Amino acid sequence: MQARTWHLGDAHQSLVLASLGDCLPEAVYWGPALPERESYQSLAAAAVTDVTGGMVDRNAPISLNPEASQTFPGQSGLTGRDADGNPLTPRFRFSNETTSEHGLTLVYADTDLELSLVLDLSMDPETSLLQMQTHLESAHKITVDWLAAPVLPVPAHMGEMIEYSGRWCAEFLTRRLPFAPGARVRDNRTGRTDHAHFPALIVCSSQTSNTSGEAYAYHYGWSGGHRMVAEELADGRRQVQFGHASASMKKNHVFRTAPLFATYSGTGFNGAAVRFQKYVRNKLVSGARMPRPVHYNCWEAVYFDHKLDELKSIASRAADLGAERFVLDDGWFGQRDDDTSSLGDWVVDKRKYPDGLKPLIDHVKSLGLQFGIWFEPEMINEDSDLFRAHSEWVLGSADQPKGRQQLVLDMSRDDVRDYLYDCIAKVLAENDIGYIKWDHNRVLPVVDAAQTEGLYALIDRLRADFPHVEIESCASGGGRVDFGILKRTHRVWLSDSNDALERQRIQHDASLFLPASVTGSHVGPRVSHTSGRTINAKFRAWTAAQRHMGFEMDPRELSDEEAEVLKTVTGWWKANRDWMATADILRLDSADPALFAEQQLAEDGDRFVVFAALVRPSNQILQYPLRLTGLDRNALYRITLINRADATGLSRGSPFLKNNDLEASGQYLMSHGLTLPWRFPETIWVLEAKRI
């Protein structure tokens, strides 16, 4: 029998879908690009597996939505109930298809149950990212507990997976696990993306490294909490599913997953990472101010203690250090002297700002800085005028525990969204404001996709009416970082940890999906407010310079020497930010776990910078040679250790880079690597290079 086949592909990868008869299609191939002469019919025929004892007589495929009705022996792609509460086990049959140059939409129907399943798949020709989304429609109101974005099998030779966990001040923790029989399920019940659940997975082999080997990387672009299933069936086949957190969609006629982004890389984790980074830079984020302005945020300088004269003086000092944007954080509205009150009352506090925000904004603008302001729109304190007027706007039960003393507004309500729109629009219309830091400091009392849809609608409306205003997504640091929010915002506050040693690890692991241009990184106080650790100014400054740079300490605490360091590094960042904003972050492999090293490679490959941070003493005396990546093996590069003056007296020898620039081929740099001077822990070597 002729199979129906479809192909999405480019020079990097091919995805071949096939189905026999009217069944839902399955991916019969996903991997390195296939030659043009390949017959997809043959691949469809070759994909049929044998059956033996203990199996049904025809193995149900890992289709784009594996069906329980086909005796699929694992987690199905849809779990739902009809109006009477009976389980729905649809049998979908082909209805129609639409194909375009880079995408396809496949429609399947179960006419008995009056359900239709729409599967959208496309491959972005610029970044080679697959984007896949499932959409279910029912003639009757039904309950859907689980709907997977299009499901792809994982090849058997990929035996490991890397998943993300984390916590406040330690986001993006990665963990490498072996596949094993059964399902590994991550079901995020917090109602937001959350510190502990960055919605991504990388499937790889034990050999895959940053720079070599195969990897399949996935990201679910949704801010309301996701569910991930990575399952090995008893027959040995493996599948990966992503969708909204279970049971988070209300009874309805229409259900839609968020887009699942995925890609195959034959060049290690970096091969996938640069595609996600590029997609965010070039496709997802729109309207970000370029060049990216150096940020100043006053939170860790003053907290809730806003005094106009002090803030003016802080802004002046920040400007002197090189800041180009000043963000007024929490504490400017209602009677917000601590975190027990006023969320919801988005009116300037006349006790702190008797003449409104204008005097501060005028001062900031006179220094040449843009003015930004903090909001936490989705939240409400019991001690607020808003709560006194509209306690019925609160999401969840009356006796729920609060989080950071606050409750959550029901964002699915039109009146709530209108109220928030009016408050925020008024502040934006009455003041010269170019930036919002949009915070979200607690998990939700109920897991409800409508909450996230309401949030998206509010931001979309504000973006349409205030297109010049940039938005930063923050949720106690990196609690809401995902492609759903990044479609609507311009920057993420990656973590509340301004401890640069922690930050090195967090931003290193986040770069598997995020480019530098959207990743906020601030020079924090000398003694970190979240870890109590004292960190030298150079380490703090260079760590921030690896991403979208900013400051978040009280500049009045800086010694002259520290201020000089900050000015110098900020000057360097400004001189390089144009090309770095479109550079790829390539993580470098090292056998030394004390080293976090990355190479930011310009789009044209003609220049790069290497940051090699030693976060603790190494076990061996000398540094291992640092092997680079992504270079033209035949080209020659001239490399300068730009902060060689920082070499300590304990470095008694004369490694070449300590006193000279090195000219070497891409092949040498990638195979042998750089021999760097000995240094103390908590230092960063910075190397600039140009193709000769």
- Active-site positions read 439, 496
Pick from 171, 175, 223: nearest CA to 201: 175
8 A C-beta contact, residue 516 and residue 548: yes
Residues in contact with 578: Cβ distance below 8 Å, sequence separation at least 6, in sequence order: 290, 291
Shortest Cβ 373–ligand DGJ spacing (Å): 11
Shortest Cβ 182–ligand DGJ spacing (Å): 37
Degrees, nearest 5: CA angle 470-473-475: 155
Phi, psi of 620, deg, nearest 5: -85, 160
Of the residues 477, 484, 520, 666, which one makes contact with ligand DGJ according to CB under 6 A: 477
8 A C-beta contact, residue 173 and residue 164: yes
Shortest Cβ 128–ligand DGJ spacing (Å): 34
Residue nearest to ligand DGJ (CB): 330
8 A C-beta contact, residue 570 and residue 322: yes
**Cβ proximity to ligand DGJ, 502 vs 682, nearer residue:** 502
Tell me: does residue 381 bind ligand DGJ (CB under 6 A): no
Tell me: does residue 378 bind ligand DGJ (CB under 6 A): no
Tell me: does residue 519 bind ligand DGJ (CB under 6 A): no
Tell me: does residue 472 bind ligand DGJ (CB under 6 A): no
Phi, psi of 540, deg, nearest 5: -65, -45
Tell me: does residue 492 bind ligand DGJ (CB under 6 A): no
Interface stretch with ligand DGJ, choices 124-132, 199-207, 381-389, 473-481 (CB under 6 A)? 473-481
8 A C-beta contact, residue 170 and residue 290: no
Tell me: does residue 438 bind ligand DGJ (CB under 6 A): no
Tell me: does residue 329 bind ligand DGJ (CB under 6 A): yes
Of the residues 231, 378, 470, 496, which one makes contact with ligand DGJ according to CB under 6 A: 496
Of the residues 78, 311, 474, 689, which one makes contact with ligand DGJ according to CB under 6 A: 474
500-510 and 537-545 helices cross at what angle (nearest 10)? 20
Interface stretch with ligand DGJ, choices 117-125, 357-365, 474-482, 594-602 (CB under 6 A)? 474-482
Tell me: does residue 562 bind ligand DGJ (CB under 6 A): no
**Cβ proximity to ligand DGJ, 493 vs 513, nearer residue:** 493
Of the residues 223, 476, 504, 507, which one makes contact with ligand DGJ according to CB under 6 A: 476
Interface stretch with ligand DGJ, choices 6-14, 208-216, 395-403, 471-479 (CB under 6 A)? 471-479
Joined together, the tokens standing for residue 107 give: 């429609």
Residues 279-318 that bind ligand DGJ (CB under 6 A): 299
Joined together, the tokens standing for residue 477 give: 């640091």
Shortest Cβ 296–ligand DGJ spacing (Å): 13
Helix, strand and coil content of the chain, in percent to the nearest 5, comes to 25, 35, 45
Q: Which residues pair with 264 in a beta bridge?
A: 216
Per-residue 3-state assignment (H helix, E strand, C coil) for 143-210: EEEEECCCCEEECCCCCEEEEEEEECCEEEEEEEEECCEEEEEEECCCCCCCCCCCCEEEEECCCCCC
Question: How many residues touch ligand DGJ (CB under 6 A)?
Answer: 11
8 A C-beta contact, residue 145 and residue 248: no
Residues 357-376 that bind ligand DGJ (CB under 6 A): 374
Phi, psi of 638, deg, nearest 5: -105, 125
Of the residues 127, 441, 511, 629, which one makes contact with ligand DGJ according to CB under 6 A: 441
Q: Rounded distance, CA 229 to CA 407, Å?
A: 31
**Cβ proximity to ligand DGJ, 520 vs 677, nearer residue:** 520
Of the residues 110, 345, 349, 439, which one makes contact with ligand DGJ according to CB under 6 A: 439
**Cβ proximity to ligand DGJ, 477 vs 666, nearer residue:** 477
Owner of token pair 């501060």: 360
Shortest Cβ 238–ligand DGJ spacing (Å): 37
Q: Rounded distance, CA 501 to CA 451, Å?
A: 35
Residues at the site binding ligand DGJ, with contacts judged by CB under 6 A: 299, 329-330, 374, 439, 441, 474, 476-477, 493, 496
